[in-house]
Chains A and B, each alone.
Chain A
Amino acid sequence: MEIIIYGVVNSASLALMALGFTLVYGISRLPNFAHGALYVLTGFATWLLLNRLGLPYILALTGATVLIGLVGAAMYRFILIRIRGMAISEIIASYAIGLALLEGMRWGGLKGATFILPAFAEGSVSVLGVSVDWQRLILIGVGAVLVGLLFLFVHFTRVGLALKGMAQDERAAMTLGIDSDQMAVVAMALGAFFAGAAAVVLLPLGNIVVESGYNVLIMAVAVCIVGGLGSWTGAILASFLIGFAQILTVVHLGAHYQVVVALLAIIITLILRPSGLFGRQKELEERV
């Protein structure tokens, strides 16, 4: 029972981490390797708003998340847009931006165990005989709500439909008057917003540390690769797959192996089936 409940919690947090990454890749084909940095940046921003400016918690949360959306949009609009379509340059540049943000934050004082965000609700409840703290339950709820909202946004709003059109066929979308550069900026803002949302619900479970930026990036990449780059259903399915696999390894082997599972999943998936479980890439684009 414990395995099932904590497996679901773990899977939901993986899905939260990966959602932004897969969104950006799906729409503008940009592997956003600054994803983890945006995640940590949100945590740091929330902490600053909360403790330095003394804003109420809920305001600090929303403020930081919106801010990070703008940062993402600016990053794309002013820097990454210039190398659009050059996959390798995109990886290197976004990774370098992420690195600069993360190490810059570390230099700016983000180290040690002093950076803690309070939980939304203290205490724990007993679910089916297993005690789970509220924060973890909220996390599942937030994850489900975000996925639901994203679904509604993409299917029922003009901008959402434009994004979907661009993900399916960029040229056709352009002939219908959709500005692909503008949409890519919107996609990046959304992706950064999702990274921020993941950060504010996940970070109260531990300290805000720079290293978690790298871990989040690895997990997001792992989930997206196993699920198929750019496929949302695949990403959610894969996060459950990896989530449960991780919990099982923690129970049977030890906590050290948690990341090893994710990394092995990436390598094995890439070797056997590079487009993942639900990928839509052509066979020839990915291997010879």
Chain B
Amino acid sequence: MKRRRGTMRRERLDRGIKVRTDSVYAVSGWPEMAYLALPRLVLILGLLAAPFIFYFNPYWQRVLSIICIYALLAMSFDFLAHFVGLVSLGGAFFVGVGGYTAALLNTELGLPPLLTIPLATLIGAGLCTLLLLPCLPLRGVYFAIVSLMFPLLASRIIEALNILGGTDGILGVDGFASKWVEQYVLILAVLLVLFGLRRLAGEDIGLVLRGVKDNDQAVKASGLNITTYKAIAVFIASAMGCLAGACLVHLYMWSGISQFALDFSILPIAATVIGGVGSLVGPVLGCLILVPISELLRDFGTLRIAVYAVILTAFIVFRSEGLMLYGSRKYHQFERWVEF
């Protein structure tokens, strides 16, 4: 149909399967079940099959692992920013703490990677939560700035005091037993975190956390301690960051101050913005797009940072909705042109 400007507008209608609110559906048969399950299955099966797809290409298998690491970080950012209202610009801090913890556990105590990763996740998350605890009452811009300072401070202190291997970092960390273990640990972690967090957001605690984001005074007035809930949220988010950091250290068999570098703070944010904020799937999608781009640009050195900074700016300024929300709107709604 030819559209005439000015007299037509696009009308959007929800599909009949969707009942009133988001995520409540009236399903009446297999086709509709399939309609709902399809996007989820594509993601799950796609990720699980990916190591086989790149079977003959070890380089891209490694890229897949890195995608998963960034996806964990991006989901951690998304969870904190859009489910709790704490915008953390210092995702690199979680990576660094988790990475150094895993490296120390491995080299000093000689624990195997499959033991150091869960331990580093828990210990690192505890440490991060403890260190961020005094900053939790801060709101908005103030929390963002203070969280940006943490990774910078950590790397400068390691440099200045020359502890933890100083600028050389900790060498001689064990790698994964095989690349299959490496990839499936990461892929399963991403899927588990993704669906776990979506579940969590629907539970009581998820409601309280969203309340903290929307109106913390109201939550306070209901007799709940905001700081406790924020601390729980930071623990969850930093656990994801530390998990990513620990895997990264075993992936590169090395831990150093570059783990506090800006890459780990800015790329997850870019992925979240591109993929769609507040959806948790969006960040994963964003990483699936951004990380390969950044790998393809590796030959151009620092140009890749410039490129994803430009992409990030363009999305945040011109398309702040993100790909995921755009896509799900197209999937769940009819569109047609009507005259008015």
Which residues from chain B contact A271 at a C-beta distance below 8 Å? Answer: 134-135, 138, 146
Which residues from chain B contact A101 at a C-beta distance below 8 Å? Answer: 306
Nearest A residue to B273, CB-CB: A92
CA distance A42 to B227 in the complex (A): 44
Asked whether A93 and B160 contact (CB < 8 A) given A104-B303, A266-B145, the answer is no
Tell me which of A89, A96, A256 contacts B160 (CB under 8 A): A256
Q: Is A225 in the interface zone, CB < 8 Å from B?
A: yes
Asked whether A270 and B138 contact (CB < 8 A) given A96-B270, A260-B157, the answer is yes
Q: Is A285 in the interface zone, CB < 8 Å from B?
A: yes
Rounded to whole Å, the gap between the CB of B137 and the closest CB of chain A is: 4
Tell me which of B140, B149, B310, B312 contacts A92 (CB under 8 A): B312
Rounded to whole Å, the gap between the CB of B157 and the closest CB of chain A is: 6
The secondary structure that dominates the A interface is helix
Q: Is B142 in the interface zone, CB < 8 Å from A?
A: yes
Stretch at the interface among A80-88, A136-144, A176-184, A198-206: A80-88
Q: Is B243 in the interface zone, CB < 8 Å from A?
A: no
Q: Is A286 in the interface zone, CB < 8 Å from B?
A: yes
The secondary structure that dominates the B interface is helix
Q: Is A248 in the interface zone, CB < 8 Å from B?
A: no
CA distance A93 to B142 in the complex (A): 17
CA distance A88 to B148 in the complex (A): 12
Chain B contact patch, size range: 35 or more
Whether B140 and A260, one on each chain, are in contact in the complex, defined by CB atoms closer than 8 angstroms, is no
Q: Is B290 in the interface zone, CB < 8 Å from A?
A: no
Nearest A residue to B310, CB-CB: A100
Q: Is B321 in the interface zone, CB < 8 Å from A?
A: no
How many inter-chain residue pairs (CB < 8 Å) link A and B?
A: 125
Q: Is A267 in the interface zone, CB < 8 Å from B?
A: yes
Q: Is A26 in the interface zone, CB < 8 Å from B?
A: no
CA distance A267 to B144 in the complex (A): 11
Rounded to whole Å, the gap between the CB of B320 and the closest CB of chain A is: 7
Which residues from chain A contact B174 at a C-beta distance below 8 Å? Answer: none
Asked whether A267 and B139 contact (CB < 8 A) given A83-B317, A103-B309, A225-B145, the answer is no
Whether B145 and A221, one on each chain, are in contact in the complex, defined by CB atoms closer than 8 angstroms, is yes
CA distance A23 to B186 in the complex (A): 46
Asked whether A257 and B141 contact (CB < 8 A) given A96-B312, A100-B306, A288-B220, the answer is no
Q: Is A99 in the interface zone, CB < 8 Å from B?
A: yes
Nearest A residue to B159, CB-CB: A256
CA distance A100 to B303 in the complex (A): 8
Nearest A residue to B270, CB-CB: A96
CA distance A101 to B138 in the complex (A): 30
Q: Is A91 in the interface zone, CB < 8 Å from B?
A: yes
Asked whether A288 and B140 contact (CB < 8 A) given A96-B270, A254-B160, A263-B149, the answer is no
Whether A79 and B313, one on each chain, are in contact in the complex, defined by CB atoms closer than 8 angstroms, is yes
CA distance A287 to B306 in the complex (A): 34
Whether B137 and A287, one on each chain, are in contact in the complex, defined by CB atoms closer than 8 angstroms, is yes
Interfacial residues of chain A within 96-129, with CB under 8 A of chain B in the complex: 96-97, 99-101, 103-104, 106-107
Interfacial residues of chain B within 189-232, with CB under 8 A of chain A in the complex: 216-217, 220, 226-227
Q: Is A191 in the interface zone, CB < 8 Å from B?
A: no
Chain A contact patch, size range: 35 or more
Rounded to whole Å, the gap between the CB of A102 and the closest CB of chain B is: 8
Q: Is A145 in the interface zone, CB < 8 Å from B?
A: no
Rounded to whole Å, the gap between the CB of B99 and the closest CB of chain A is: 20
Which residues from chain A contact B142 at a C-beta distance below 8 Å? Answer: 270, 274, 286-287
CA distance A91 to B153 in the complex (A): 19
Q: Is A149 in the interface zone, CB < 8 Å from B?
A: no
Whether B134 and A88, one on each chain, are in contact in the complex, defined by CB atoms closer than 8 angstroms, is no
Rounded to whole Å, the gap between the CB of A78 and the closest CB of chain B is: 9
Q: Is A264 in the interface zone, CB < 8 Å from B?
A: yes
Which residues from chain A contact B102 at a C-beta distance below 8 Å? Answer: none
Whether A87 and B141, one on each chain, are in contact in the complex, defined by CB atoms closer than 8 angstroms, is yes
Q: Is A196 in the interface zone, CB < 8 Å from B?
A: no
What 0/1 readout, one digit per residue, does chain B (78-117) give for beta carbons within 8 Å of chain A? 0001000001010000000000000000000000000000
Q: Is A31 in the interface zone, CB < 8 Å from B?
A: yes
Whether A263 and B266, one on each chain, are in contact in the complex, defined by CB atoms closer than 8 angstroms, is no
Interfacial residues of chain A within 232-264, with CB under 8 A of chain B in the complex: 254, 256-257, 259-260, 263-264
Q: Is A209 in the interface zone, CB < 8 Å from B?
A: no
Q: Is B269 in the interface zone, CB < 8 Å from A?
A: yes
Interfacial residues of chain B within 151-183, with CB under 8 A of chain A in the complex: 152-153, 156-157, 159-160
Asked whether A96 and B313 contact (CB < 8 A) given A271-B135, A274-B138, the answer is yes
Which residues from chain B contact A267 at a C-beta distance below 8 Å? Answer: 135, 146, 149-150, 153
Interfacial residues of chain B within 292-337, with CB under 8 A of chain A in the complex: 300-303, 305-306, 309-310, 312-313, 316-318, 320
Given A83-B316, A271-B134, 16 additional A-B pairs, CB 8 A: A91-B141, A92-B273, A96-B310, A96-B316, A99-B306, A100-B309, A103-B305, A106-B302, A266-B149, A267-B149, A267-B153, A271-B138, A274-B138, A287-B138, A287-B142, A288-B226
Residues of B that sit less than 8 Å from A by CB: 81, 87, 89, 134-135, 137-142, 144-146, 149-150, 152-153, 156-157, 159-160, 216-217, 220, 226-227, 262, 266, 269-270, 273, 300-303, 305-306, 309-310, 312-313, 316-318, 320
User: 3 shortest A-B CB distances, which residue pairs?
Assistant: A256-B160, A100-B309, A99-B309
20 A-B interface contacts by CB (under 8 A): A87-B141, A93-B316, A95-B89, A99-B305, A99-B306, A100-B313, A103-B303, A103-B309, A106-B302, A225-B145, A259-B152, A260-B153, A264-B153, A267-B135, A270-B135, A271-B146, A274-B142, A285-B140, A287-B139, A288-B137
Residues of A that sit less than 8 Å from B by CB: 31, 79-80, 82-83, 87-89, 91-93, 95-97, 99-101, 103-104, 106-107, 218, 221, 225, 254, 256-257, 259-260, 263-264, 266-267, 270-271, 274, 285-288
